[in-house]
Amino acid sequence: MHFLDQPPRHLFFTGKGGVGKTSIACATAVQLAAAGKRVLLVSTDPASNVGQVFGEHIGNQITAIPAVPKLSALEIDPQAAAQAYRDRIVGPVRGVLPDAVVKGIEEQLSGACTTEIAAFDEFTALLVNATLTADYEHIVFDTAPTGHTIRLLQLPGAWSGFLEAGKGDASCLGPLAGLEKQRTQYQAAVAALADPQRTRLVLVARAQRATLHEVARTHHELAAIGLTQQYLVINGVLSLETTEHDPLAVAIQQREQSALAAMPQTLQALPCDQIALKPFNLVGLAALRQLLTTTIPSNDAEAINLPTQLDAPALSSLVDAIAVDGHGLVMLMGKGGVGKTTLAAAIAVDLALRGLPVHLTTSDPAAHLAETLEGSLPNLIVSRIDPHAETERYRKHILNTKGARLDAEGRALLEEDLRSPCTEEIAVFQAFSRIIREAGKQFVIMDTAPTGHTLLLLDATGAYHRDVTRQMGATSLHYTTPMMQLQDPKQTKVLIATLAETTPVLEAANLQTDLRRAGIEPWAWIINNSVAAAQPTSALLRQRAYNELPEIQQVATRHAQRYAVVPLLQQEPVGINRLRDLGGHRHRDGEVEGGATASRAENSIDTSPLYGNT
């Protein structure tokens, strides 16, 4: 493995949820310890299962792993760290400032940025405090800080004064309040991360087009702030010899090879390793020792007990219930790589084929809805919002209004705040808000929706929602803001998309919690690309399918009010006929002819700003 050649002291593994970061980090730690090195394994992953992997209770203290001499582990709980961090900042002002102000501060500190910075606050000492880690030759980190977090920590130390003076509204600067005391330590930590003699960053991805483009963006973001010593690991690659003439396995193998051949050039230049897809769950020492090997264990396909047919609702059952209303807003939410765009297109096609008017819209720059549809339908309008254009418009508006009153330092901080992920979500939501109004007379299917945290920011700062409320008066019932519409289950149905794997399910559950805090109750979950629902015949895929069953059961019984399972298809769901198949309807009304791109496809929607100071 290239990433293990002459490894420096610090190894960071980063990537999207579900790509296998934790398993690879654990396997790396085991291999280094087996080579006689003293190793500390540190996880900052909110979905960390390091303790489960080793069969040990670890928690937030350094714990020796008895089964692996020279290996110790530490699980930093980011949520607990974030709560302690919030308490340190909010505690002194509680009871001093008005409750509304305190609530606003708490909301600023409720999002992903706070969790990242609080976790960084926890493990910074492990990078720079020689006394704490003197006993270890290698420290392996599961989940590195994002480029955005590191860039924020490099800012001049003027966050608290900037916020206290009321110059900055809620976004990503809030979590940075009160950090000046740790600035020297942070600067040393960032320097350690950027030093290739001390740190190696390993980008973990899967052999999927969307995932590879996502990790390419991460590569650029980290390289731009000096973290250039990067390696690439493609995890879970299906090898030809394991396909066993299974049509599904053969199709997946060919699809993966096509994605790897079309990998972005920036990734092709990185040292790269491929790890073969394994049939077993990566729990226990024996499994970890096999992960980084090229040997693929053989299994008897017939010995794996799978149900003849998965007893789970199809996507069509959800569309049946959606169609009853005749109109409304349907929002697809979920982490990157779970197939939101395809699912949104499938729902839109199914509704349009029923004769219902549908507007399908996305803000995903990689969505390419026209290519996904490969045809037109009489009742279907397609549009694409350009997130870069909308964000730039929003940035200019804020800088020309709020920024005009700031000095040079304040304006620099505001500009940094406006480069945060929250800014893009807010800007895109403004564009979506114009389209949302159409849901009173037709279906609006929205792909790539804002997260619950962003919606809370929009509501907590009061820029639009509360302004309208004040203007209309408490007794008036003749207005509806976008936020109110999203909170009304009669007008909006939120569908959470996920995969039947441990980390994606946990991330989807966290998203659901976030949405509920914003007063939005998800209507259904969709488990996409299920191997168990595809009835594979190869031993490897049958074992993978068997491993999915507990996750599907977890969604069905614990997380979702209603749900559907969409099978992994041999052919990518491109074109109207395949999209309809995805929903479980097998050409009930004959074939749909592919033709010109759906009307107004891929057009940027011209939207005017709705939120002045969010």
Degrees, nearest 5: CA angle 78-82-86:
175
Structure tokens at 487: 């909170």
Q: Which of 14, 16, 21, 43 is catalytic?
A: 21
Among 35, 43, 37, residue whose Cα is nearest residue 70:
37
Q: Which of 15, 17, 20, 452 is catalytic?
A: 20
The DSSP symbol for 366 reads: T
Q: Which of 503, 530, 538, 607 is catalytic?
A: 503
Q: Which of 14, 15, 17, 23 is catalytic?
A: 23
Among 187, 174, 216, residue whose Cα is nearest residue 456:
174
Active site residue 334: no
Active site residue 45: yes
Q: Which of 45, 364, 447, 459 is catalytic?
A: 45
Backbone angles phi, psi at 316, to 5 degrees: -60, -30
Contacts of 311 (CB under 8 A, 6+ apart): none
Degrees, nearest 5: CA angle 282-526-264:
65
DSSP 196-263: TTTEEEEEEEES-HHHHHHHHHHHHHHHTTT---EEEEEEEEPPGGG-TT-HHHHHHHHHHHHHHHT-
Structure tokens at 238: 């299906």
Active site residue 103: no
Structure tokens at 139: 């420290």
Strand-pair category, 63-64 with 71-75:
antiparallel
Active site residue 361: no
Contacts of 567 (CB under 8 A, 6+ apart): 529, 530, 533, 534, 535
Spatial distance between the Cα atoms of 344 and 349, rounded to a whole number of angstroms: 9
Residues 222 and 230 sit within 8 Å (Cβ to Cβ) = yes
Active site residue 142: no
> The sheet that has 524-530: what strands, in order across it?
380-384, 358-362, 443-447, 328-333, 492-499, 524-530, 563-567
Spatial distance between the Cα atoms of 363 and 523, rounded to a whole number of angstroms: 22
Spatial distance between the Cα atoms of 569 and 252, rounded to a whole number of angstroms: 9
Active site residue 503: yes
Active site residue 23: yes
Q: Exposed (0-12), middle (13-18) or buried (19+): which is 9, by Cβ within 10 Å?
A: middle
Q: Which residues are catalytic?
A: 18, 20-23, 45, 503
